[in-house]
Structure 1
């Protein structure tokens, strides 16, 4: 494709999804605009699920997957256009993100043909929802400290899983969980881990919602007590789970982050408008912080584009870790700025018993941004050790 044809191809794709969203976010789906998202996943979940199945019927799920796996085979540039237009349309937060953006690409890269045939079509059709079984009480950002264990039963068939996962997003709405478990007794750190696909609707699995600062419960604890999954639900070879798990994390920080930034921009623009209306913008310190926030948002976008260039070239660099630190810190600071713009009134809930407005929810939920998906401290260690070549941190 020539340099002249490529932009035209992307713009026609952008126009197609923009027109489809304009025509379909109407009627029964009109009220879903802006619903869901961090701290608000409880909002209209069943209706958002119906919306996403409506998207699937029109071929607008898994757009970046190869056509042979049910996707559209969209180029990287087209995927960026899709996520940006989706965010610009204020379309509802996706309920199938973990299956579509994390597990699906992992199975395409590492799964067997049988696994692909079994699990990919229900993700495309939004018939099965997935959650991520990585973090544990003593293995959060330090994933290599996993203690959940899995052993084969006496016949050498099913895997039997015992342990606990925590901060498992939307586990209470999911039918399946991809679980990193220790399958080699006596192994430590990165060795001896395996990547298992585990059904949640069975005896031996208990999901307990965690009530967050926002009063909602997107995060959950998941307990496995003799839970089972079939032998063929192991992705990759036994003991190779670290490689598969790291690939999944790489997919997590893909093109959808550009759509996330559209949401960030909308939040910032809303705060600027509020500061002008309530007089907070007259304070030179507030104006300076708003200017810094705008500049930071531009840096986030430029770093993301640089990261995607590396992905397209087949050699992703340190930009993913750099980007995670920067956007997480930026978003947390934006929440603090929102409270300062609101003033004392920001301390009052909008209604009983705990009715939060968007700015209060932004402040409270963004406290988690610097912790989940790899804490700032862990990301700094990754950059120091793997990029800069500094001595590794001493570990017990």
Structure 2
């Protein structure tokens, strides 16, 4: 791996390498179709072109460009990864594995806390997109107060036995593995006695029940564990010290949710172009509605400010081992930008932004409605906006903790 001090010449040489590889390996039929990347992670069939692209980028290691090469990653520096991202955007390419929790949450956490055996067992398969992961955190009585979780884990000598329930388990019905928090010591204080386990989902002791959402999709599940089994080598980190591991995973999750692209991810067409098409232009070629022009300009400034702050935070995090508490700031910022964009999109489309089905609406119009509805969840998943504000106030601003009773 090259060091962080790569010269401009070295970066331009890598840019040429990345451009040539993308031209030779990215299927042109997929240009600008980043939305397809989530289809397999949502249980759907994928096109032959997408399957080929997943295979090629997985074998190259560029789906996880900065992960170590010995575990199937690309071994790139952050600067090289940024160049790769720029070159992918230039040709309309996208990371087809970007939506998986293996890449965004579980993989980075295993790299942080895993044994060598765990890294070599799980990381290469995650890097190649060969396995799907879900995360078992929230429970019916342990949502924002996650440390109150009650899913029981007993040491049976040669394995662990798990009984309990998780809720809002994204993609559990399609997952091969689950990274989950369980209580291994009921006599300890609630933040103690918690462990993090890697659990095989393909066993009779695990049942998933999808939860239907207002947007029409069912990515979330209730997940029930009845005498489910976890192997001893599935313990990630130390026994009864899983709260530390669990918090680190949440940092990685929030860091992955800072792109402000909203549901579906990928590059999005400028809202100004959409407004000119639906609202029309005046005699000077400007968007006809002056109030809408002002609000679009304000949104564009917020979006660009977020992007620049994200780049700065990413550069600063290199010396901090990756995700930091700054992810809480950016997670809330990304939520505000994405939700504002969704609201503006429906306003611009007018009555064409109110459809649910039927030939009177284009695929983009129908997706805009569903994206707007699903985007409301951004305020909650990965830790609610209020939880992020508490983290920001205590761990970044150093304000007193007013959330604990005396």
- TM-score bracket relative to the smaller structure: 0.7 to 0.9
Provide Cα deviations, 1:115-134, integer angstroms capped at 9, x if missing partner: 12222222233222211112
SS in 1 for 2:310: helix
Query: Larger deviation: 3-12 or 328-337?
Result: 3-12
Q: Of the candidates 135, 141, 145, which is equivalent to residue 144 of structure 2?
A: 141
Report what 1:386 is aligned to.
395
What's the counterpart of residue 284 of structure 2? none
Deviations 1:208-242 (A, max 9, x none): 22222221122222211111011111011111111
**Cα distance per residue 1:138-161 (max 9 Å; x no partner):** 3333322222221112xx221111
Aligned partners of 1:162 and 1:225 also within 8 Å: yes
Given candidates 313, 324, 328, the residue that maps to 1:321 is 328
1:294 aligns with: 300
Report how far residue 90 of structure 1 moved.
4.2
Determine if contact 2:251/2:324 at 8 Å carries over to the other structure: no
In structure 2, the CA distance between the partners of 1:3 and 1:244, relative to structure 1 (3 Å rule), is closer
In 2: Cα distance, 1:267 partner to 1:61 partner: 20
Q: Specify the SS of the correspondent of 1:72.
A: coil
In the alignment of these two chains, the number of paired residues is 392
Question: CA contact under 8 A between 2:206 and 2:223: conserved in structure 1?
Answer: yes
> Structure 1 residues 259 and 68, CA, compared in 2 at 3 Å: closer, same or farther?
farther
Instruction: After TM superposition, give the deviation of residue 365 of structure 1 in Å.
Output: 1.4
Q: Pick the aligned partner of 2:355 from 348, 361, 370.
A: 348
The answer (yes or no) to whether the contact 1:129–1:174 under 8 Å persists in 2 is yes
Structure 2: any 5+ residue segments left out of the alignment? Answer: 281-286
What secondary structure sits across from 2:164 in the alignment?
strand
Partners in 2 of 1:32 and 1:2 — Cα distance?
Answer: 32
- Equivalent position SS for 1:179: strand
Match status 1:58 vs 2:60: yes
Residues 181, 194 of structure 2: 8 Å contact kept: yes
**Please, which of 73, 79, 82 is the counterpart of residue 80 of structure 1?**
82
Which stretch shifts more, 224-233 or 124-133?
124-133
Higher mean C-alpha deviation, range 79-88 or range 242-251: 79-88
Q: State the shift of 1:344 in Å.
A: 2.2
Kept in 1: contact 2:63–2:97 (CA 8 A) = no
* Residues 237, 2 of structure 1: alpha-carbon distance in 2 compared, 3 angstrom cutoff: closer
Does structure 1 conserve the Cα–Cα contact (< 8 Å) formed by 2:261 and 2:268?
A: no
In structure 2, relative to structure 1, the CA distance for the partners of 1:186 and 1:54 (3 Å cut) is: same
- Alpha-carbon offset, residue 84 of structure 1: 4.4
Written as runs of structure 1 = structure 2, the 5 A alignment for 1:80-99 is 80-87=82-89, 89-91=92-94, 93-94=96-97, 97-99=100-102
The residue number in structure 2 matching 1:119 is 122
Q: Is the Cα contact below 8 Å between 1:265 and 1:297 reproduced in 2?
A: no
Are 1:202 and 2:203 an aligned pair?
Answer: yes
Query: Paired residue for 2:183?
Result: 182
Helix, strand or coil at the partner of 1:213: coil
- CA distance in 2 between counterparts of 1:241 and 1:302 reads 34
Query: 1:180–1:214: structure 2 CA closer, same or farther, 3 Å change rule?
Result: same
Is the Cα–Cα contact under 8 Å of residues 162 and 224 in structure 1 kept in the other structure?
A: yes
User: Is structure 2 residue 177 aligned with structure 1 residue 192?
Assistant: no
What SS does structure 2 have at the residue aligned with 1:196? strand
RMSD: 3.2
Counterparts of 1:178-257 in structure 2, within 5 Å, are 178-254=179-255, 257=258
Long gaps (5+) in structure 1? none
TM-score by length of 1: 0.87
Alignment of 1:263-274 (within 5 A): 266-267=267-268, 269=270, 271-274=271-274
Structure-2 change in CA distance of 1:194 and 1:65 (3 Å): same
Measured at CA, do residues 109 and 99 of structure 1 come closer, stay the same or move farther in structure 2, by a change above 3 Å? same
| Cα offset, 1:276, TM superposition | 0.7
Distance 1:39 1:346 in 2: 23
Quote the offset at 1:384 in angstroms. 1.2
TM-score for the superposition, normalised by structure 2? 0.85
State the Cα distance separating 1:39 from its structure 2 match.
9.5
Deviation at 1:63, TM superposition (A): 1.9
What is the alpha-carbon distance in structure 2 between the residues aligned to residue 145 and residue 389 of structure 1? 25
